[in-house]
Amino acid sequence: MREYSTREVAEIASLTAPQIRRWARAGLVTPQKDANGRWKFSFQDLALLKMAGQLLEARVSIGRITRTLRELHDHLPSRPLSAVSLVVVAGRVIVRDRLASWVLESKQGVFGFEMEAAAGSDAPSPAPTSLPKRRAAESADALYQSALDLELAGRPAEAEAAYRAALGANAKLVDAKINLGRLVHAAGRLREAEALYREALEQAPDSALAAFNLGVVLEDQGKTRLAIETYLRAIGIDNDHADAHFNLARLLEQSGDRQAALRHFSRFRRLTR
């Protein structure tokens, strides 16, 4: 099962590294440490923290988020959290899956028309969108979520097909392009992964994750100088990208630039304390 670095979780879940560390120390997620002492998060951890990010965007307090997600984890111990979604309606946290919706605190069921009525009472009306475009966007998002679920279930071939379908419905889904690149990268199709990462970085030039992943696949192909340049680009986008500093320090040391390598390794150590 693939593991995610703190930086990857931060980008995917729209959280800061301190917020992620706070919830890890609170026991909400249980990352493991690798040989270099860096936290690695499971897909289940990622799903939970992504919900935390969504609740933060809905202006739910950090304390309530912690209680809510701990209760959700306890309430659904045997189900993948990516199979459900959360929405805040009229101050209530509502859990939705493919079959039902319910208020988490009270376990009271909620009907679809109740959610629509409550949302309509205090939410601004969405901008008008043509029906075909709206359906295409919904289809792309649904396919992307299905791909994440399949990846969580350890079914990479099906996840790859779902990511490709999502991109077929909406070629601007940069996250889907990065995730697809990661899957083909793991499968050893390095040139294909490189092309996907380059496309993602062209679409989102401020994505440190796309730049970092491109650096990794370049390094895996023995393109050391290009990998160094690309890791430097990732750090230029986000100077707190610990993994980029670590990989850059390792390559610089191999290239004989020990002073620069020490500088980046020191930065890595400060970021991962």
Report the pLDDT value the prediction gives residue 195, as an integer from 0 to 100: 97
Residues forming CATH 1.25.40.10 domain(s) in the chain: 140-271
The per-residue pLDDT for range 86-125, each reduced to its tens digit, is 666 666 666 665 445 566 555 554 444 344 444 444 443 3
Asked if residues 246 and 234 have their Cβ atoms less than 8 Å apart, the reply is: no
Report the pLDDT value the prediction gives residue 194, as an integer from 0 to 100: 97
Report the pLDDT value the prediction gives residue 170, as an integer from 0 to 100: 92
Structure tokens at 64: 């309530």
Report the pLDDT value the prediction gives residue 57, as an integer from 0 to 100: 80
Report the pLDDT value the prediction gives residue 217, as an integer from 0 to 100: 94
User: How many other CB atoms are there within 10 angstroms of residue 55's CB atom?
Assistant: 21
Local structure of 92: helix, strand or coil:
strand
Burial 192-223 (b: 16+ CB within 10 A, else e): bbbbbbbbbbeebeebbbbbbbbbbbbbeeeb
Q: Which residue has the higher pLDDT, 110 or 178?
A: 178
The per-residue pLDDT for range 37-77, each reduced to its tens digit, is 888 888 778 877 888 888 888 777 878 878 877 777 676 65
Q: Is the pLDDT of residue 200 over 90?
A: yes
What's the whole-number mean pLDDT along residues 222-241?
94
Q: Is the pLDDT of residue 201 over 90?
A: yes
The CATH number of the domain covering residues in 140-271: 1.25.40.10
Mean pLDDT over each residue of the chain, to the nearest integer:
79
Report the pLDDT value the prediction gives residue 121, as an integer from 0 to 100: 40
Q: Is the pLDDT of residue 213 over 90?
A: yes
Q: How large is the angle between the packed helices 43-57 and 6-13, nearest 10 degrees?
A: 40
The per-residue pLDDT for range 134-174, each reduced to its tens digit, is 445 558 888 888 888 777 667 888 889 999 999 999 999 99
Report the pLDDT value the prediction gives residue 126, as an integer from 0 to 100: 40
Report the pLDDT value the prediction gives residue 124, as an integer from 0 to 100: 39
The CATH number of the domain covering residues in 1-82: 1.10.1660.10
**How does residue 80 score in pLDDT terms, banded at 50, 70 and 90?**
low
Q: Which residue has the higher pLDDT, 31 or 90?
A: 31
- % of the chain with per-residue pLDDT over 90: 30
The dihedral sign for the CA sequence 269, 270, 272, 273? positive
Report the pLDDT value the prediction gives residue 117, as an integer from 0 to 100: 42
